[in-house]
Amino acid sequence: MKLYKAYAKVNIFLKITGKRGNYHEIISRFMRVDSLHDELSFVAKDESSDFKIIGKFSCDTKQNTIYKAYVALLESLDEAASSSLKNLMSKYAVHVNKNIPAFAGLGGGSSDAATFLKMCNEVLHLGLSQNELSLVGIKVGADVPFFIYGYDSANVSGIGEIVEEFKENLLDIEIFTPKIEISTPKVYTSYRENFYVPIDGFKAEKLKKTSSLDIVKKMSADEANDLFKPALHEYKELKNHYKQGYYFSGSGSSFFRVKGV
C-alpha cells in the first residue's frame, strides 16, 4: 500500500494574544520540517477486527490522535460514507513508522492525525475539501489544521483553526530534543498563572508580515516563544539543554536552529 509522510513542524515564533474560555489564543509561524517525518500506511489485517494501530506508541489506542481522528471523521460523515470507513478499518490497520519524538513540540501526533484523515479521504474517495477536513481535524487538536493544508510555512492564529499561508522558502532546520516529556496543558497553565502578558494586535500583525529568517536573526528564544519561560519554570532541567542560538518549538521540549544563521 502507498506510504504517506507525516512531517514535523517547528514554531518560529509563538505569542499569546488572549484567552478563549479554557484555551489560549495564539499567533504563531509554523514551518514544516522536511527532514523529519513519520510514515503511515494501511496494511491488511489477518482477520476482521476493531480499529488497530501498529507502531511504537506509549498511549492506549483510544488515546492516540489517529484513533481520535477516526472517531471525529466517522461523526462527520453520512451513513454510507461512515459505513465505508468502518469497513476499511475492519480490514486494514494503520501502520506507523514513528520518527517524530512525542511530547516534543514538533506536532507529531497532530501530523499523524492529519495524514490519516487525508489518507481516508483519498482511499475512500470521500471528496472532502481541505476546509472540511480541517473542521474535523480541529476536534482532534489545535495543530491538526496546519498539517491538513500542507503549507511550507503559515501564520496560525485563534486556537489553531485559522491557517494562512506565508510564502517563503523552507529553512534548513536542525532539531535537538532532550529526553524530557513535557505536558502542554501544564506549560499553558504556568503561563496563565505566572507569565500572562498577551501581545497586542499591532505587534501580532507586524510578526505575521516578518519572514522566519528575520525572526531568528532578530529575536531571542524567550522573545520568540511565550511558552519558553513557563516551560523552564515547570521543567528546571530544560535549562541544562539550552544552547545559544537555538529556539524553542511549541511547548517543548525540542530546540531548533537554522543552519548558517
Catalytically active residues are 9, 143
Residue with cell 496494511: 43
30 bridge partner residues: 11, 154
Give strand ranges (E) for the chain.
Answer: 4-20, 23-44, 53-54, 92-97, 153-158, 162-165, 173-176, 247-248, 255-258
Measured distance CA(177)–CA(35) in Å, rounded:
14
- Backbone phi, psi, residue 189, to 5°: -65, -45
Q: What's at 196, amino acid-wise? A: Y
* 194 within 8 A of 58, measured Cβ to Cβ: no
Residue with cell 519558553: 228
* 16 within 8 A of 25, measured Cβ to Cβ: yes
Q: What's at 31, amino acid-wise? A: M
Measured distance CA(177)–CA(53) in Å, rounded:
25
Give strand ranges (E) for 45-81.
Answer: 53-54
What is the H or E stretch that residue 144 is in? helix 144-149
Measured distance CA(119)–CA(252) in Å, rounded:
28
Q: Determine the 3-state secondary structure of 80 from DSSP.
A: helix
